[in-house]
């Protein structure tokens, strides 16, 4: 079939953002000529969370959960092909590890990005509008393109505690871009807020002197202990297509309770990081430097004053504590907020508590023309569960979207489940054609 669009700036599908989510979509679309696609990112080139790319950080997911393998294991954009092309297949096998270093995985994705002709970097999409011929993507210098369908993959936004907002600046900041800052903590008191993987990694780097030798580092977490990532076999079944479909069919209150209950499945600390951190803290104690570090689990940040003075409340005994900090690093996670480029369409979107309602076909619920589909990736945690913000199902998610756009099951997205979940999985997600050539361009 010939491409559905003919003009230079008219596409079947336009992607906003080129992180791993939309990169997977672009990689799986490579070679499917019926879908004329273009993807836009504001960065000058592909980069994966450069502000948190610590040299020793490792992936929390297997290399098999790459951009394509789960639905297309012979695809040339697989991690295995990257290894072979770089002459590392045998050394990689000798390591016998499924989780590679974060830097290596980032390099793999950069390699894929360099091979894809559909990616446009240095293009900040300010607004997605609905025009007469479909969606219009607008940037600073005017219209970037027109597209029949759009897939928004702009990532999640740093979550910042309200009380810290007035103090945000060079000495109080979210960890997201910590490696891109000019930072020196030599001789200073540092407080790290947040007991997830990023909090643990930042603490480790601080104690190892990456930004100079601090006078003291305190690590406060609302969680009642510094808790490990749950990677046990049945927890891994939460990251399967069947579970995503089950989750979507549940009432909102049940979904919210499950997200809380399953927090450690996606947001706990890798065992290797916990062990490394424990070793460093133990060594400090064993060598008479215990006062350098203070571990504060079960502490909730309640207020912040100039100076900085932080008010914490202990969740175990209700006691109030005050901490002094010269530098505050917020490792307080990421939120699914309405992507800024969709704000102009917000009245047409179904929003629940400010979150997009995303279906198991990854289409956003909206009142626009049915033949123009608005997809969102890594934006539907509240609709689809914890797997949404991970790489685990990225390839399956992309395949599901491509099937929707093509209106036929190009990829097999069905998989058997070992677990009979209480609500039956909904079956194939591919429904009526999302867009036929006849319909394309209708207002
Ligand atoms: C440090 C870190 C490590 C992680 N490790 C793992 C892991 O090991 N395993 C796992 O499963 N998950 C992991 N995750 C979770 C998740 O997989 C990643 O956050 C992943 O990057 C999400 O990909 P994304 O494409 O949805 O978003 P992002 O990676 O955030 O990419 C979004 C892209 O959109 C661009 N953009 C945003 N707005 C616009 C706009 N208006 N116009 C143009 N471009 C725009 C940005 O420049 C960016 O390139 C990790 C997360 C972090 C923060």
The answer to whether the CB of 262 falls within 8 A of the CB of 237 is: no
Cα 356 to chain centroid, rounded: 15
Give the architecture (CATH level 2) of 164-229+268-333. 3-Layer(bba) Sandwich (3.50)
Residue whose entry in the numeric block shows the structure tokens 């609905």: 130
CATH no., domain 10-156+336-406: 3.50.50.60
List the structure tokens of 297: 């689990």
Work out which ligand 1 atom sits closest to the CA atom of 340.
41
- Measured in Å, residue 285 CA sits from the centre of ligand 1 at 37
Short-list 38, 37, 41, CA closest to 17: 41
Residue 373 pairs in a beta bridge with none
Work out which ligand 1 atom sits closest to the CA atom of 65.
11
The answer to whether the CB of 360 falls within 8 A of the CB of 352 is: no
- Measured in Å, residue 49 CA sits from the centre of ligand 1 at 6
Q: Considering only CA atoms, which residue is closest to atom 5 of ligand 1?
A: 59
Q: Where are the domains of the chain?
A: 10-156+336-406, 164-229+268-333
Mean pLDDT by 10 residues, the chain (443 residues): 55 98 98 97 98 95 97 98 98 94 98 98 97 95 96 97 98 97 97 97 97 98 96 94 94 94 94 97 97 97 97 96 97 94 95 91 94 96 94 97 97 90 53 33 27
CA angle 31, 435, 114 (to 5 degrees): 30
Q: Considering only CA atoms, which residue is closest to atom 37 of ligand 1?
A: 154
Work out which ligand 1 atom sits closest to the CA atom of 60.
8
Cα 91 to chain centroid, rounded: 29
Same fold, 10-156+336-406 and 164-229+268-333: yes
336, 391, 397, 398: residue to mutate for ligand 1 pocket, most atoms within 8 A of CB = 391
- State residue 423's pLDDT score: 65
List the structure tokens of 69: 């393998």
- Measured in Å, residue 21 CA sits from the centre of ligand 1 at 7
Instruction: Annotate the chain with three-state secondary structure.
Output: CCCCCCCCCEEEEEEECCCHHHHHHHHHHCCCCCCCEEEEECCCCCCCCHHHCCCCCECCCCCCCCCCCCCCCCCCCCHHHHHHHCCCHHHHHHHCCCCCEHHHHHHHHHHHHHHCCCEEECCCCCEEEEECCEEEEEECCEEEEEEEEEEECCCCEECCCHHHHHHCECCEEEHHHHHHCCCCCCCCEEEEECCCHHHHHHHHHHHCCECECCCEEEEEECCCCCCECCCCHHHHHHHCHHHHHHHHCCCHHHHHHHHHHCHHHHHCECHHHHHHHHHHHHHHHHCCCHHHEEEEECEEEEEEECCCEEEEEECCCCCEEEEECCEEEECCCEECCCCHHHHHHHHHECEECCEECECCCCEECECCCCCCCEEECCCCHHHHCHHHHCCCCHHHHHHHHHHHHHCCCCCCCCCCCCCCCCCCCCCCCCCCCCCCCCCCCCC
For helices 271-286 and 197-207, angle between their N-to-C axes, nearest 10 degrees: 30
- State residue 36's pLDDT score: 97
The answer to whether the CB of 381 falls within 8 A of the CB of 260 is: no
Residue 376, φ and ψ in degrees, nearest 5: -140, 135
154, 336, 396: residue to mutate for ligand 1 pocket, most atoms within 8 A of CB = 154
- Measured in Å, residue 244 CA sits from the centre of ligand 1 at 20
The answer to whether the CB of 259 falls within 8 A of the CB of 384 is: no
CA–CA dist 433, 24 (Å, integer):
22
Work out which ligand 1 atom sits closest to the CA atom of 53.
1
Work out which ligand 1 atom sits closest to the CA atom of 126.
41
Residues lining ligand 1, judged by CB closer than 6 Å? 16-22, 40-43, 48-49, 52, 59-61, 124-125, 153-155, 341, 377-378, 389-392
List the structure tokens of 21: 């989510």
CA–CA dist 290, 431 (Å, integer):
61
What is the pTM assigned to this prediction?
0.93
CA angle 177, 178, 183 (to 5 degrees): 135
- Measured in Å, residue 176 CA sits from the centre of ligand 1 at 11
Q: Considering only CA atoms, which residue is closest to atom 14 of ligand 1?
A: 390
The answer to whether the CB of 26 falls within 8 A of the CB of 119 is: yes
- Measured in Å, residue 238 CA sits from the centre of ligand 1 at 20
- State residue 8's pLDDT score: 67
Residue 13 pairs in a beta bridge with 37, 149
List the structure tokens of 262: 């399953």
- Measured in Å, residue 20 CA sits from the centre of ligand 1 at 6
14, 16, 19: residue to mutate for ligand 1 pocket, most atoms within 8 A of CB = 19
List the structure tokens of 222: 């609302």
Work out which ligand 1 atom sits closest to the CA atom of 392.
11
Residue 436, φ and ψ in degrees, nearest 5: -105, 160
């Amino acid at each position: 079939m010939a491409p559905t669009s003919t003009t230079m700036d008219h596409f079947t599908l336009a992607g906003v953002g080129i992180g791993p989510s939309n990169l997977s979509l672009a990689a799986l679309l490579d070679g499917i000529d019926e879908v004329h696609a273009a993807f836009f990112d504001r960065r000058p080139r592909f980069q994966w969370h450069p502000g948190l790319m610590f040299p020793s950080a490792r992936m929390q997911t297997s290399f098999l959960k790459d951009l394509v393998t789960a639905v297309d294991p012979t695809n040339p954009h697989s991690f295995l092909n990257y290894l072979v092309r770089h002459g590392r297949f045998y050394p990689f096998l000798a390591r016998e590890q499924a989780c590679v270093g974060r830097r290596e995985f980032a390099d793999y994705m950069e390699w894929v990005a360099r091979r894809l002709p559909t990616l446009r970097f240095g293009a900040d999409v300010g607004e997605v509008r609905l025009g007469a011929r479909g969606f219009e993507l607008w940037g600073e210098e005017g219209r970037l393109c027109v597209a029949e369908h759009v897939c928004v993959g702009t990532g999640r936004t740093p979550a910042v505690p309200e009380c810290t907002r007035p103090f945000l600046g060079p000495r109080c900041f979210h960890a997201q871009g910590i490696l891109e800052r000019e930072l020196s903590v030599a001789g200073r008191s540092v407080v790290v807020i947040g007991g997830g993987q990023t909090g643990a990694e930042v603490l480790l780097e601080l104690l190892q002197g990456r930004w100079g030798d601090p006078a003291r580092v305190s690590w406060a977490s609302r969680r009642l202990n510094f808790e490990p990532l749950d990677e046990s076999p049945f927890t891994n079944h939460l990251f399967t297509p069947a579970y995503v479909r089950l989750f979507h069919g549940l009432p909102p209150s049940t979904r919210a309770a499950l997200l809380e209950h399953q927090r450690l499945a996606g947001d706990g600390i890798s065992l290797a990081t916990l062990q490394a951190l424990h070793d460093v803290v133990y060594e400090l104690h064993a060598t008479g430097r215990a006062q350098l570090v203070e571990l504060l689990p079960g502490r909730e940040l309640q207020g912040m004053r100039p100076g900085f003075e932080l008010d914490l409340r202990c969740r175990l005994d209700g006691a109030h504590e005050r901490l002094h900090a010269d530098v505050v690093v917020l490792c307080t996670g990421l939120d699914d907020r309405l992507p800024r480029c969709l704000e102009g369409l917000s009245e047409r979107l179904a929003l629940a508590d400010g979150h997009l309602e995303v279906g198991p076909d990854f289409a956003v619920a909206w009142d626009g023309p049915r033949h123009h589909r608005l997809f969102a990736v890594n934006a539907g945690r509240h609709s689809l569960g914890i797997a949404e913000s991970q790489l685990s199902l990225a390839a399956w998610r992309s395949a599901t979207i491509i099937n929707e756009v093509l209106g036929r099951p190009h990829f097999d997205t069905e998989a058997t489940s070992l677990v009979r979940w209480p609500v039956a999985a909904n079956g194939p997600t591919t429904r009526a054609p999302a867009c036929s050539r006849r319909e394309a361009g209708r207002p």
